[in-house]
Homo-oligomer: A and B are copies of this chain.
Amino acid sequence: MPISIEKKCKDKGVKLTEQRKIIAKVMSESNDHPNVDDLYVRVSKIDSKISIATVYRTVKLFQESGILAKHDFKGSKARYEELNEGHHDHLIDVKTGEIIEFVDNEIEDLQKKVAEKYGYELVDHKLELYGIKKKS
């Protein structure tokens, strides 16, 4: 099975270069939400000649093509994650930085209602919860 990001590139007419394949592969295999530096380090292990400029250009391109999502969480650099069908929001552990993905349809519906109440059609949203792990 081909890497899903590569398939998306073809579908969207994005030229598949060696560098982009590597970046796609690394992103696919990352379960955390790496920032550009993290990504550059991981990518460099596979091909040390890839420049950071290419990494920046590629994440931007992938983001504009709807392949990756960019997140600006509080107090940290921009982080990226692969975008799949299932939309989700994030719960961030303020102590460790760990990120939990979640979906809550009830909240989603309410958001739509709030937007409508003010005469808007909701086109996008951002919901981030910041929490501290409870002792159990």
Size category, A interface:
20 to 34
Q: Is the interface of A mostly helix, strand, loop or mixed?
A: strand
Q: How far does the alpha carbon of A57 sit from the alpha carbon of B122 in the complex, in Å?
A: 36
Contact B119 A114 (CB under 8 A): no
- A61 close to B (CB within 8 Å): no
Q: Which residues of B contact A48 (CB under 8 A)?
A: none
Contact B127 A115 (CB under 8 A): no
Contact B123 A126 (CB under 8 A): no
A31-75 at interface with B (beta carbon < 8 Å): 72, 74
Which residues does A use to contact B, with CB under 8 Å? 72, 74, 91, 93-94, 100, 102, 104, 106-107, 110-111, 114-116, 118-134, 136
